[in-house]
Amino acid sequence: MTCSVVSADTDSMMQMSVNREFDGAMIPPPSARTLAELKEGESGIIDRLELPEDVARRLMELGFLPGHTVVPARSAPGGEPRVYRVDGSEVALRRETASRLILRAPSKAAAKALKP
């Protein structure tokens, strides 16, 4: 299913694709990294949100959109929740939620640049 959200005050459009049969048991492929796996200060680009429609929609409204860069910042004393910087904002997410935000695999050019 594809939903479109249009904001009347900004004339922008947001489109998302969600899985109606979401049961909470989706596990990312072994090669895919999640937002929860990033270390403080390391950045990642969101590929998709594997969450129920209402949660995915709210996170997208907060800036967690596919193609946007996210950087983990500080976390609470117990380690959870953790603050993430995205689209000029700071948003705290639980590890369980962050583990459902799948990151893009690094491009081959980026991977080469990281090798010594």
Report d(CA 100, CA 102) in Å as an integer. 6
* Res. 80 pLDDT band, cuts 50 70 90: confident
Nearest to 91 by CA among 67, 66, 61: 61
Q: Which two tokens stand for residue 71?
A: 């950087």
pLDDT tens digit string along 3-14?
A: 545 444 444 445
Domains of the chain: 2-106 (2.30.30.90)
How confident is the model at residue 109, as a pLDDT? Answer: 47
Indicate if the pLDDT at residue 54 is higher than 80. yes
Global pTM?
0.67
Report d(CA 48, CA 65) in Å as an integer. 8
Report d(CA 17, CA 9) in Å as an integer. 23
